[in-house]
Amino acid sequence: MRRMMAAFVALMLLASPAAYAVQPDEIMSDPVKEGRARELSRELRCMVCQNQSIDDSDAPLARDLRLLVRERIAAGDSNSQVLDFLVARYGEFVLLKPRFERQTLLLWLLAPVLLIGGGLALWLQIRRRARSGADVPAPPLTPDEKARLAALMSDDAKS
């Protein structure tokens, strides 16, 4: 139900005129806290956009999320507390960097497994083949190819 409400609100916001990515009036007075807010913003998804972070997006929803992040930071939340708060509210959809857990295991482990597994397999195969003896001789030329080769060679000789 909450998710549906969020979607509804998002749609309402989408209809209002375009605003702007990080606006002057949003910026926090403390540069350290503002820096943290920007850092977090880059990891949070603007849910009505295509893979844009709320830091980049000019959608009104992104602005609300940016303000929310700053509100939590001002209230003294740590970075992970802010993220937890947003996940509790909007689900994991809001995180541009998915958490390492059961559902995302395959996603995160894909690169290292492929790289190490593929690398090992290739190394073993190349070594085995290199040791297994002499070069396989290339297949002999067909008469067609021989004629073509002769023609090409005489061409080269002329030019």
Give whichever of 74 and 122 is closer to other proteins, judged by the CB atom.
122
Whole-angstrom Cα distance, residue 114 to residue 88?
Answer: 33
The yes or no reply on residue 127 touching other proteins (CB under 8 A) is yes
> Applying CB under 8 A, does 35 fall inside the site for other proteins?
no
Closest distance between other proteins and the C-beta of residue 72, in Å?
19
Check binding of 129 to other proteins (CB under 8 A): yes
Q: 102 exposed, middle or buried (CB, 10 Å; 0-12, 13-18, 19+)? A: exposed
x/- mask, other proteins, residues 64-93, rule CB under 8 A, reads: ---------------------------xxx
SS3 readout for 78-136 = CHHHHHHHHHHHHCHHHECCCCCCHHHHHHHHHHHHHHHHHHHHHHHHHHHHHHCCCCC
Structure tokens that stand for 131 in this block: 């040791």
Contact set with other proteins (CB under 8 A): 18-25, 27, 42-43, 45, 50-53, 56, 58, 91-98, 103-104, 106-108, 110-111, 114-115, 118-119, 122-123, 126-127, 129-130, 134-136, 138-139, 144, 148, 151, 155, 158
